[in-house]
Amino acid sequence: MRRYPAVATLGPKSHADVVSDVFATAHPRYDLLNRLLSFRRDVGWRAFAAERMRLPPAGKLLDVATGTADLAIAAARRWPGARVTGIDTAETMLREGRRKVTRGGLSGRIELQRGDALAIPFPAGSFDAAAVAFGMRNFPDRPGALREMARVTAPGGRVLVLEMTFAPARAFRAPYGVYLRRILPFLARLLSPNPAAYAYLADSIMRFPGPEAFSEIMRRAGLAAVEHHALTFGAAYLHVGRVPAVRESSPPPNGTPEGT
Ligand SMILES: C[S@@+](CC[C@H](N)C(=O)[O-])C[C@H]1O[C@@H](n2cnc3c(N)ncnc32)[C@H](O)[C@@H]1O
């Protein structure tokens, strides 16, 4: 069985290597495990994020780290005039995503392509909104990814980050900790082709900044009117920020030390 180093010990390069290995092997049962391990809450969380995109008629959305395209599909269904572009570094995940897009009859409105969140392959202001679901945790440079999402979003548009976070309501904290540390890795050993990926998952959730800290990281990346919404007692958060109508002078080049 594979083993990955603890997230706290990873530098930017080794973090990217671990993430690449995790998602190169995750695709065969990725969707099934997502549903099971989140008690199907992931579907509702993405629907909530899609609702908050507030896309204009015929709006354009960028879904960063689209994986198997669940957020792209939820957004396209919620906003029937919208067109969605999904990018991801893992071709295996994209292949599965393309199959789902075709099965859902959405090939005319959703396009998936290779692309890195840290160097998004589109010009400034190309989209009405940019979103990422369960991807931010995996980026070695989160402020850099946020600045890229803000860059490709038109002034006034939204940047949305949906992420699992270990900042639950007090009464939920102990059981959620046991679930992440013990039960999730145990279930993954039974069900996943790469159980170590789920040990990484639990570790990366527990190390993700709390909602206030992440809101501050978004502000420092140049986003305005930042707000966050707790989902399922704080097991996940949706963060939403706006690209200022008049862009301020560039945000600090390296954001915060949290980037690694
Ligand atoms: C947990 S999956 C989330 C997939 C999907 N957004 C969802 O809602 O299920 C994380 C995805 O992030 C992708 N990823 C990781 N690092 C990336 C990067 N630097 N740029 C783009 N995608 C990346 C992985 O390949 C993987 O598909």
pLDDT tens, residue by residue, 125-148: 999 999 999 999 999 999 999 999
Tell if the pTM clears 0.85, that is, is over it.
yes
Atom of ligand 1 nearest to the CA of 34: 9
Of the pLDDT bands very low, low, confident and very high (cuts 50, 70, 90), residue 257 is very low
Between CA 224 and CA 19 the distance in angstroms is 30
Tell how far the Cα of 246 is from the centroid of ligand 1, in angstroms.
30
Interacting residues of 85 by C-beta distance below 8 A, sequence separation 6+: 60, 61, 62, 63, 110, 111, 112, 113, 122, 127
DSSP per residue, 51-113: HHT-PPTT-EEEEET-TTSHHHHHHHHHSTT-EEEEEES-HHHHHHHHHHHHHTT-TTTEEEE
CA 53 to chain centre: 14
Tell how far the Cα of 222 is from the centroid of ligand 1, in angstroms.
23
Higher per-residue confidence, 100 vs 171: 100
- For residue 259, the model assigns a pLDDT of 38
pLDDT in tens, 164-218: 988 777 888 888 888 888 888 888 777 777 777 777 788 888 889 999 999 999 9
Higher per-residue confidence, 194 vs 123: 123
Between CA 61 and CA 83 the distance in angstroms is 6
pLDDT in tens, 241-256: 999 987 555 555 454 4
Q: Which residue has the least CA distance to atom 23 on ligand 1?
A: 65
Tell how far the Cα of 161 is from the centroid of ligand 1, in angstroms.
12
65 CB less than 6 Å from ligand 1?
yes
Please check the confidence at residue 102 and state whether its pLDDT lies above 80: yes
Please check the confidence at residue 68 and state whether its pLDDT lies above 70: yes
Supply the DSSP symbol for 187: H
Tell how far the Cα of 22 is from the centroid of ligand 1, in angstroms.
10
Is residue 68 within 8 Å of 30, Cβ to Cβ? Answer: yes
CA atoms within 13 A on the CB side of 64: 31
Tell how far the Cα of 201 is from the centroid of ligand 1, in angstroms.
12
96 CB less than 6 Å from ligand 1?
no
Is residue 63 within 8 Å of 85, Cβ to Cβ? Answer: yes
DSSP three-state, residue 229: strand
23 CB less than 6 Å from ligand 1?
yes
Please check the confidence at residue 7 and state whether its pLDDT lies above 90: no
118 CB less than 6 Å from ligand 1?
yes
- For residue 26, the model assigns a pLDDT of 62
Long-range contacts of 230-233 (CB under 8 A, 24+ apart): 230/169, 231/41, 231/44, 231/45, 231/48, 232/41, 232/44, 232/45, 233/168, 233/169, 233/171, 233/172, 233/176
Atom of ligand 1 nearest to the CA of 132: 6
